[in-house]
């Protein structure tokens, strides 16, 4: 009897081992009707997630992408947070993916990202509802409102913040910029005033941001757990605001949230409360954090490149000299005349690479350059691999705004029609230079295709007005910090403290 039990136990153990080996084999060799790109799927379930999130203390391409491109080529397969993904560092493939959204691909992010931003966030929506939300957001960030309202308000915010910082021994420029931009955009989005709330909404977003791009381990003490807790608290504040406004039908439209509430009150609303709340959450995050990071890196790059500061100062002091009142606010005509500033902004965002990857999902088996992306697989377009490619940009890690000289560069990409697909505003005139446009093959700092970032023009306004006020009114020096780390998002782990000195 005992012998039979032993034999049965051994048989069960052997079957389990065979099943495990088969499972591991299937994990490492996924089924595909065609030819998968080369690469490794990593450890079962975990995949290559740990390598993807490994810190990288440079502006260069992450070792995760760099090493695999060197080994496998510009397309490779991997697995991140439990999902099979094809990574593309190929400009042609990236362009093809963007141009075929809604046909062969759709917007998609791994489940952990969806948990962070909400299952009904704008990045997860498709078709008519996405276009509807995009049109809604353009009421705030579109050309007309930028000219009429946001340029002046941005200029005033930059002046006030810089003056306040100059009165202090030093300021952490990342923290200062985040506060300035959050207060500005949160007021436009939700009428938010920090003094009116017992719970600081920005503090909740700060907690959220610290774990946004971190290993997705949701247990107390981890950055990801802190991120999820920050989201919960921020959503609680937003839900309270929504309930308060929904209960007041006589309330006038004072901010963007009020317009969203009006949409919810329609007889047959296209929005749900969940979609509305996730929309507000994503807009609050995207409106301040990405621009603050880019500008912080911009100040660091300017500090290290005085020749660029001299050229900027020359351009902006000429603008001031041509005014009747030297201390007047920036006009739209002045803003549009900032040619070298536009080059500096493009170079900053090229090197900043705030978004390390843009995700899409294959709706069917897709053949690209001899490889097959199976239906249901993710594909990660990798902007840094393009922006830092020496075959496209000479000496790509150098901060060289003059590389953009001679381009048909417009500082505002939606001047004629804010609703069109913005992809033809920035093209080098010389035939021997690559096509570098806002959202095409060689420049993807603001996304591409149908999902080109609707906040692009606001970002450029913020950066241009900040640079104008900084170089015309102040000198500065580094006090401490300024080291960067990418995990894979951009961060300043030890801050970046500078001291400002009024020029007059």
Q: Please give the annotated binding residues for heme, written as ranges.
A: 453
For 5, 11, 15, 245, 374, the CA distances from 2, given in Å and listed in that order, are 5, 14, 20, 73, 50
**CA-based diameter of the chain, in Å?**
104
- The DSSP annotation for 339-374 comes to HHHHHHHHHHHHHH---S-EEEEESS-EEETTEEE-
Three-state DSSP class for residue 21: helix
CB 91 within 8 A of CB 441: yes
Calculate the dihedral angle through the C-alpha atoms of 380, 349, 408, 140, rounding to the nearest 10 degrees: 90
Both tokens assigned to 418:
């804010």
- Residue 493's H or E segment, with its range, is none
Give the annotated binding-site residues: 453
- Residue 211's H or E segment, with its range, is none
Calculate the dihedral angle through the C-alpha atoms of 327, 329, 330, 331, rounding to the nearest 10 degrees: -120
Angle in degrees, CA 149, 155, 160, rounded to 5: 125
For 197, 227, 233, 289, 489, the CA distances from 208, given in Å and listed in that order, are 18, 4, 9, 11, 14
């Amino acid at each position: 009897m005992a012998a039979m039990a032993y034999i049965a136990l051994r048989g069960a153990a052997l079957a389990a081992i065979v099943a495990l080996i088969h499972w591991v084999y299937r994990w490492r060799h996924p089924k595909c009707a065609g030819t998968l790109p080369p690469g490794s799927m990593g450890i079962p379930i975990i995949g290559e997630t740990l390598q993807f999130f490994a810190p990288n203390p440079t502006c260069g391409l992450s070792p995760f992408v760099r090493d695999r491109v060197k080994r496998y080529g510009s397309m490779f397969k991997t697995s991140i947070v439990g999902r099979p993904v094809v990574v593309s560092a190929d400009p042609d493939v990236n362009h093809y993916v963007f141009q075929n959204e809604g046909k062969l691909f759709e917007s998609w992010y791994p489940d952990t990202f969806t948990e962070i931003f909400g299952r009904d966030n704008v990045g997860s929506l498709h078709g008519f509802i996405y276009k509807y939300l995009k049109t809604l957001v353009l009421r705030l960030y579109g050309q007309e409102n930028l000219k009429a309202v946001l340029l002046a308000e941005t200029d005033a915010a930059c002046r006030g913040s810089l003056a306040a910082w100059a009165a202090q021994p030093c300021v952490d420029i990342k923290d200062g910029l985040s506060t300035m931009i959050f207060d500005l955009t949160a007021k436009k989005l939700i009428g938010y005033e920090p003094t009116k709330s017992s719970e600081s909404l920005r503090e909740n977003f700060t907690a959220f941001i610290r774990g946004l791009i971190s290993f997705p381990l949701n247990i107390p003490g981890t950055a990801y757990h802190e991120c999820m807790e920050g989201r919960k608290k921020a959503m609680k504040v937003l839900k309270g605001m929504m309930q308060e406004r929904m209960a007041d039908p006589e309330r006038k439209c004072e901010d963007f949230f009020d317009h969203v509430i009006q949409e919810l009150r329609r007889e047959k609303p296209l929005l749900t409360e969940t979609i509305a709340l996730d929309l507000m959450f994503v807009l609050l995050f995207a409106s301040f954090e990405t621009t603050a990071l880019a500008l912080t890196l911009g100040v660091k790059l300017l500090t290290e490149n005085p020749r660029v500061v001299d050229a900027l100062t020359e351009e902006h002091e000429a603008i001031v000299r041509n005014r009747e009142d030297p201390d007047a606010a920036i006009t739209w005509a002045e803003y549009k005349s900032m040619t070298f500033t536009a080059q500096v902004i493009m170079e900053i965002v090229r090197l900043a690479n705030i978004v390390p990857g843009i995700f899409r999902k294959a709706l069917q088996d897709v053949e690209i350059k001899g490889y097959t992306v199976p239906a249901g697989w993710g594909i990660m377009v990798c902007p840094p691999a393009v922006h830092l490619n020496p075959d496209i940009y000479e000496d790509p890690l150098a901060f060289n705004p003059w590389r953009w000289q001679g381009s048909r560069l417009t500082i505002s990409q939606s001047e004629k029609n804010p609703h069109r697909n913005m992809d033809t505003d920035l093209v080098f005139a010389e035939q021997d230079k690559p096509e570098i446009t806002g959202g095409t093959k060689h420049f993807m700092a603001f996304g591409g295709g149908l999902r080109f970032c609707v906040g692009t023009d606001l970002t450029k306004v913020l950066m241009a007005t900040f640079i104008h006020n900084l170089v015309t009114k102040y000198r500065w020096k580094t006090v401490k910090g300024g080291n960067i780390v990418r995990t894979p998002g951009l961060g300043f782990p030890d801050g970046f403290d500078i001291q400002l000195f009024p020029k007059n």
